[in-house]
Amino acid sequence: MGRLHWIIFFTFTAVSALVPALHASAGDADPIYKSCVEDCEKSGCVKDKCFQHCKFTSDGKPIDGPWYLQEPLYLRWKQWDCRSDCRYQCMLAREEERQKLGDKPVKYHGKWPFQRVYGIQEPVAVALSALNLAIQFHGWISFYILLHYKLPLRPNKRTHYEYTGLWHIYALFSMNSWFWSAVYHSRDVELTEKLDYSSAVALLGFTLILAILRAFNVRDEAARVMVAAPLIAFVTTHILYLNFYKLDYVKLYCLVTDLRNIVSHAQMNLPQCLAHFLGLNFKVCSAMRVTQLLIWAVWAGVTRHPSRWKLWVVVAGGGVAMLLEIYDFPPYHGFVDAHALWHATTVPLTYLWWSFVRDDAEFRTLALHKKVK
């Protein structure tokens, strides 16, 4: 009966994850904020704070003054331009006013108002991403040491464990993803956002393949290719669309939605349609995440694996962590928001996860080694 309860819980989590959590940004629609940004872009100042960048045109040349007063390259590369500085200062000023009036924080351009530290946008999320990266690295190294130095090897010096290569690839994908997550949270511009998104989608796609191969005990090379190929094709297409054909993708999506709306007499403008498109990507990611959680949960339920309890904890923790992504709340004191907390939950879960992987390697190796003997 307990098992049934869990399955109901995960199905519920799965369904609620597919409902897009989209909020229009109230902050940037606020007329006081809007006029603050407009004034700042003209004068270069918000109250007594002034920005040097506002004296330059967008290609880094000074509006007035000699050529040698060019803006430093590293600042241009970081895109700390007039607009982003104005937006940040106006947001801080507006939030301060709102707080005095007893109003709750609102989002600006899709993001909660965060306090920057040394120019880092979300310091807590950056630190947690780095910690996750370190934990992944530790897990990977200890997995390698266990397989190659502690467990018996085959006569050809290869490991008995059939999933060695897959876990190595997993480690690379996840470390890559945490690296770009740290970069993105320190400075979000289009490029860093795309890199973060793409590596997260790639990781999700690969872990889904891994879940299917391990849970269904797919050991045959040809069968593995048959499972992986369509998923790789799907994830690659999705990443390509996200990065290069986003506009056309959105247009197509809006057109289809529009046709549907004509039938249902509903109205949707372009910004709303864009928000829906972002929701679509969220759905693709959620669907991949939920599918693999369900696969592991069901497998943990039926298998006689000695470390299945670790799987249970990781799956349950992963389900709870997903709720943090859905129930978005503003950053506490401008630092810790739901997303940062979500990055915090993955730290112990990753640790336990690699511990399961090591147990699995040991369990399979000893079974196979006995057979060989």
Binding site for Zn ion (CB under 5 A): 181
Q: Which is nearer to Zn ion, 254 or 285 (CB)?
A: 285
Give min distance, CB of 221 to Zn ion, in A. Answer: 35
305 contact partners, CB below 8 Å, separation of at least 6? 311, 360, 363
What 3-state DSSP class applies to 48?
Answer: coil
Give min distance, CB of 134 to Zn ion, in A. Answer: 16
Give min distance, CB of 205 to Zn ion, in A. Answer: 18
Q: Which is nearer to Zn ion, 13 or 192 (CB)?
A: 192
Residue 172 CA from chain centroid, whole number:
16
How many other CB atoms sit within 10 Å of the CB of residue 371? 8
Q: How far apart are CA 51 and CA 40, in angstroms?
A: 9
DSSP label at 133?
A: H
Q: Determine the straight-line distance between the first and last CA of the chain, rounded to whole angstroms.
A: 41
Closest residue to Zn ion in the complex (CB):
181
Give min distance, CB of 142 to Zn ion, in A. Answer: 25
Q: Which is nearer to Zn ion, 160 or 185 (CB)?
A: 185
37 contacts 90 by C-beta, under 8 angstroms: yes
Q: Which is nearer to Zn ion, 181 or 286 (CB)?
A: 181
Give min distance, CB of 120 to Zn ion, in A. Answer: 13
Q: How far apart are CA 5 and CA 28, in angstroms?
A: 43
Give min distance, CB of 186 to Zn ion, in A. Answer: 11
Of 24, 13, 12, give the one whose Cα is nearest residue 273: 24
Q: Which is nearer to Zn ion, 21 or 50 (CB)?
A: 21
Q: Which is nearer to Zn ion, 28 or 196 (CB)?
A: 196
